[in-house]
Structure 1
Amino acid sequence: MKRTILIYICIHCLFSLNIFAQKKLGVYSVAFYNLENLYDTENDPLTNDEEFTPKGSMQWTDEKYQKKLENMASVISKLGREYCPGGPIAIGVSEIENRKVLEDLINTGALTEMGLDIIHYDSPDRRGVDVALLYNPKLFQVTSSKAYPYILPGDATFKTRDVLLASGTLAGESFHILVNHWPSRRGEKSSELREFAAAINIHIADSIYKANPLAKIVIMGDLNDDPTNKSCQRVLNAKKNRDEVKPGGLFNTMWTFYDKGIGSLSYKGQWNLFDQIIISESLLGKDYSSLKYWKSQIFNSDFLIQKEGKNKGYPLRTFSEGKFINGYSDHFPVLIYIVKNL
């Protein structure tokens, strides 16, 4: 039985490669990664980052910071390489403190050779963490970017991450990436906070569609919700199946993983799929004369998994019970592949 399965897998792989060879398709990848508290070691008096300083509770020293950078760079440099030798055209990131940590990151290890550029805006988040986009300017030519603030009606005191929009061209086509990190699950009414974040994304996507119905749109991020939660399933109306997506609608590329019990993070012994990539209907179909979605991936390689202790089998994070264990992140990266005729 095992031999039969192995033969099937080999035939499938050869068939896929043959299709790419025959159709001469170009392959592009887009990724998202929650970097789990990528702070520098300096105390910013405007944010609550004291714990990530040398004298803070995490005893966040330059040595630990450099190890964190090296680990993050190692993971990002490996993303998408199976089909895209140059790596992803763009990587959305969250839980980063400022532009400085991003500059340090893209100049660390294998990332130095990727020639990545940065799009970043400071957000009003109380912990001082932002979202950002790292991108390859040779493949994704960014023409504009904007931070959409999260302004909760009736509560101007609530502060969280902005939604980042980067617009440009990929393979000669209009391409737009929205990077998110939605409010956490703290509090009884936290679901409403994420539903409002979803509504911001719908507003942005509708505006893009109105200007160009053929525009390709990617919504990515740590949504702090699963594909079946109201924010994703009802507000975004991101569909599980491709044939359910109507013009102007959205498709959730990660839902099938969720149905199989495969997640991007674990909390209290349960897998969640908060890290999602959702795409516009314009990226669906089999007319490869324009950019089309091929498949998605959760990058859960063995080296990213904790091998012992109570968190065995889960993402190998930076700290465990307050102790530095020199891991990576409490989230796995996620990515999608997009193809087009050469």
Structure 2
Amino acid sequence: MQIVLFLTVLISFLGGVEVKIASYNVENLFDMNYDGNEYEEYIPNGDWGWTQEMYRSKLRNSAQVIREVNADIIALQEIESEIALKALKAELNRQGLYYRYHLFARNKNSTVNCALLSRYPILSGFRHPVSYNGHYRDILEGKIEINGQILRVFVNHWKSKSGSESQRILSAKRLAIRLSELPDDEPYVLLGDFNSHYEEYKTFLKSRKHNDTEGITGINHILKTIDDDENPITYTSLKNNDGHLYNLWYEVEEKQRWSHQYRGKGEALDNMVISPSLADGKGLEYVRGSFQRFEADFLFYKGKPYRWQQTKRYPKTHIGEGYSDHLPITAVFRIQ
């Protein structure tokens, strides 16, 4: 943390323009309109008590986290609708944080979707459907102008671990196709909830439920965050590996490489992956050592992420406390 602060002060002293980028799965931000796609516990005024009061509490708590992160650009996952996104923007404004620009991946077949908030102008936005059956969330692409520099941001929320790896590979392939259409020197960031560990190719091998692809993974093999010998791409090797990408989790200590917990075990489901042009010494650059998970004390309870709370006994109801089962992740970029 002290190193990051030192880098931030040094960059400011040298006159560089800094941009903080973040990603946060807010855990089910639903509005109060009944559309028929809601999870049972989020049916407005239903048996679980998703009321206007609970909605306002969820907005306040989500906005509190985003305000504390204070990113210039933040990718969000698990937003039900653009109505909910605009309500979140309004709550952020009340709490003193204003985002002028936003994008939302509107997919009527998806229960929750991806979104993007930005202080910098969003020149264009695209929604990339993975399939048309409603079983996969769309990938959201934003083209953002940062002091004359162009950065593309791709917001992801891949299939959960309730499904096999072949389902996440579909999202990875759709993303890879889009990336192949960009110029080789195009700077871009891939971020969001990939439901994939940064070294998924190691962690899922013995899982019969997940490994239905003979060891091939979406995040590592399709997006090429490992080389042909299955060695992780490093910041240094990124410059020498055409078509490969760098996962920023390698920037932090190994024991800190998690943003979500499952049965008490940390998982790095939220990822931030950068293109080679963000490490070539020209234009917009990633600030080495700046990537981290956001871990304010209020986001934890008994050592675990303090997720949105419901009563433990049936019938379960919302109680208006907690935040999310995911922690935000952040990184700093600067213009040379």
Pairwise TM-score range, normalised by the shorter structure = 0.7 to 0.9
Where 1:133 maps in the other structure, the secondary structure is strand
Query: 1:217 and 2:188 equivalent?
Result: yes
Q: Unmatched 5+ residue regions in structure 2?
A: 201-216, 226-231
Query: 1:62 and 2:52 equivalent?
Result: yes
Identify the match of residue 143 of structure 1 among 103, 119, 123. Answer: 123
**Partners of 1:42 and 1:49 in 2: CA distance:** 13
Residue 241 of structure 1 aligns with an amino acid whose one-letter code is T
Deviation readout 1:261-285 (Å, 9 max, x if unpaired) = 4311101111101011111010014
8 Å CA contact 2:285, 2:333 repeated in 1: yes
8 Å CA contact 1:257, 1:263 repeated in 2: no
Residue 199 of structure 1 aligns with an amino acid whose one-letter code is K
**Partners of 2:85 and 2:328 in 1: CA distance:** 17
Q: Which residue pairs with 1:236 in the alignment?
A: 223
**Partners of 2:253 and 2:220 in 1: CA distance:** 13
Identify the match of residue 195 of structure 1 among 156, 165, 169. Answer: 169
C-alpha distance 327-186 of structure 1, shift in aligned 2 (>3 A): same
8 Å CA contact 1:317, 1:330 repeated in 2: yes
Q: Which residue pairs with 1:32 in the alignment?
A: 23
Deviation readout 1:245-296 (Å, 9 max, x if unpaired) = 12442110123447324311101111101011111010014x3x51110121
C-alpha distance 163-16 of structure 1, shift in aligned 2 (>3 A): closer
8 Å CA contact 1:165, 1:179 repeated in 2: yes
Percent identity of paired positions between Structure 1 and Structure 2: 27
Where 1:271 maps in the other structure, the secondary structure is strand
C-alpha distance 76-116 of structure 1, shift in aligned 2 (>3 A): farther
**Partners of 2:268 and 2:4 in 1: CA distance:** 27
Residue 206 of structure 1 aligns with an amino acid whose one-letter code is S
Q: Unmatched 5+ residue regions in structure 1?
A: 1-8, 80-86, 307-311
**Partners of 1:148 and 1:13 in 2: CA distance:** 34
C-alpha distance 25-99 of structure 1, shift in aligned 2 (>3 A): same
TM-score by length of 2: 0.83
Could you list the runs of 4 or more consecutive aligned residues of structure 1 that deviate by over 6 angstroms after TM superposition?
none
Deviation readout 1:103-152 (Å, 9 max, x if unpaired) = 111111455541332211322545x211111111xxx222211101012x
C-alpha distance 227-13 of structure 1, shift in aligned 2 (>3 A): closer
How do residues 319-334 of structure 1 correspond to structure 2 at under 5 angstroms? 319-320=309-310, 321=312, 322-323=316-317, 324=319, 326-334=321-329
Q: Which residue pairs with 2:102 in the alignment?
A: 118
Where 2:188 maps in the other structure, the secondary structure is strand
C-alpha distance 17-193 of structure 1, shift in aligned 2 (>3 A): closer
8 Å CA contact 2:101, 2:121 repeated in 1: no
TM-score by length of 1: 0.82
**Partners of 1:15 and 1:129 in 2: CA distance:** 38
Query: 1:51 and 2:44 equivalent?
Result: no
Identify the match of residue 334 of structure 2 among 321, 329, 339. Answer: 339
Residue 255 of structure 2 aligns with an amino acid whose one-letter code is K
C-alpha distance 15-117 of structure 1, shift in aligned 2 (>3 A): closer
